[in-house]
Amino acid sequence: MTYLVGPKGQVVIAKEIRERLGIGPGWRVVQRLAGDHVELYFLPPPHQDSLKGLLRESIRRTLPEEAWSKARETAWKASWQEEA
Protein backbone atom coordinates (compact mmCIF):
# COMPACT_ATOMS: atom_id res chain seq x y z
CA MET A 1 0.00 0.00 0.00
CA THR A 2 1.27 3.51 -0.74
CA TYR A 3 0.84 6.68 1.29
CA LEU A 4 1.24 10.33 0.41
CA VAL A 5 3.83 12.52 2.03
CA GLY A 6 2.02 15.35 3.82
CA PRO A 7 2.77 19.05 3.38
CA LYS A 8 5.07 18.99 6.44
CA GLY A 9 6.99 15.94 5.15
CA GLN A 10 5.13 13.56 7.43
CA VAL A 11 4.23 10.00 6.49
CA VAL A 12 1.94 7.44 8.09
CA ILE A 13 3.29 4.17 9.48
CA ALA A 14 0.73 1.52 8.52
CA LYS A 15 -1.40 0.22 11.39
CA GLU A 16 -0.36 -3.38 10.68
CA ILE A 17 3.32 -2.42 11.04
CA ARG A 18 2.72 -0.42 14.24
CA GLU A 19 0.78 -3.30 15.78
CA ARG A 20 3.35 -5.93 14.80
CA LEU A 21 6.23 -3.88 16.23
CA GLY A 22 4.23 -2.69 19.23
CA ILE A 23 4.82 0.97 18.33
CA GLY A 24 2.71 3.48 20.22
CA PRO A 25 2.55 7.17 21.07
CA GLY A 26 5.72 8.53 22.63
CA TRP A 27 8.13 6.25 20.77
CA ARG A 28 11.19 7.87 19.21
CA VAL A 29 12.33 7.19 15.66
CA VAL A 30 15.91 7.11 14.45
CA GLN A 31 16.16 7.74 10.72
CA ARG A 32 19.14 6.62 8.67
CA LEU A 33 19.79 7.20 4.99
CA ALA A 34 20.92 3.89 3.50
CA GLY A 35 21.77 4.29 -0.16
CA ASP A 36 18.54 5.14 -1.96
CA HIS A 37 16.16 4.45 0.93
CA VAL A 38 15.52 5.42 4.54
CA GLU A 39 15.73 3.00 7.46
CA LEU A 40 13.64 3.70 10.56
CA TYR A 41 14.49 2.36 14.01
CA PHE A 42 11.84 2.71 16.72
CA LEU A 43 12.84 3.22 20.35
CA PRO A 44 10.23 2.78 23.10
CA PRO A 45 9.81 5.45 25.74
CA PRO A 46 11.16 4.74 29.23
CA HIS A 47 8.70 2.66 31.19
CA GLN A 48 6.67 4.27 33.94
CA ASP A 49 5.73 1.03 35.66
CA SER A 50 6.94 0.32 39.15
CA LEU A 51 9.24 -2.67 39.55
CA LYS A 52 8.42 -2.92 43.24
CA GLY A 53 7.50 -6.47 44.13
CA LEU A 54 8.67 -7.92 40.81
CA LEU A 55 10.90 -10.51 42.51
CA ARG A 56 8.53 -11.25 45.37
CA GLU A 57 8.00 -14.85 44.26
CA SER A 58 11.78 -15.47 44.06
CA ILE A 59 12.61 -14.31 47.57
CA ARG A 60 13.16 -17.23 49.89
CA ARG A 61 13.68 -15.41 53.17
CA THR A 62 13.02 -12.05 54.74
CA LEU A 63 15.21 -9.91 56.96
CA PRO A 64 14.14 -7.61 59.73
CA GLU A 65 14.72 -3.95 58.89
CA GLU A 66 17.72 -3.61 61.23
CA ALA A 67 19.53 -6.56 59.57
CA TRP A 68 19.55 -4.99 56.09
CA SER A 69 22.67 -2.86 56.63
CA LYS A 70 24.70 -5.87 57.83
CA ALA A 71 23.43 -8.01 54.93
CA ARG A 72 24.32 -5.25 52.46
CA GLU A 73 27.82 -4.89 53.92
CA THR A 74 28.38 -8.66 53.78
CA ALA A 75 27.25 -8.78 50.15
CA TRP A 76 29.57 -5.92 49.16
CA LYS A 77 32.54 -7.62 50.88
CA ALA A 78 31.79 -10.90 49.11
CA SER A 79 31.52 -9.10 45.77
CA TRP A 80 34.79 -7.27 46.37
CA GLN A 81 36.60 -10.51 47.30
CA GLU A 82 35.34 -12.21 44.11
CA GLU A 83 36.85 -9.43 41.99
CA ALA A 84 40.22 -9.52 43.79
Name the band, by pLDDT with cuts 50, 70 and 90, for residue 4: very high
Mean pLDDT of 57-72: 80
Mean pLDDT of 29-45: 95
Question: Which CATH class for the 1-46 domain?
Answer: mainly beta
* pLDDT at residue 1, as a whole number: 82
Q: Considering only the C-alpha atoms of the chain, give the largest distance between any 2 of them, rounded to a whole number of Å.
A: 65
Is 24:42 a contact under the CB 8 Å cutoff?
no
* pLDDT at residue 84, as a whole number: 60
Q: How far apart are CA 81 and CA 1, in angstroms?
A: 61
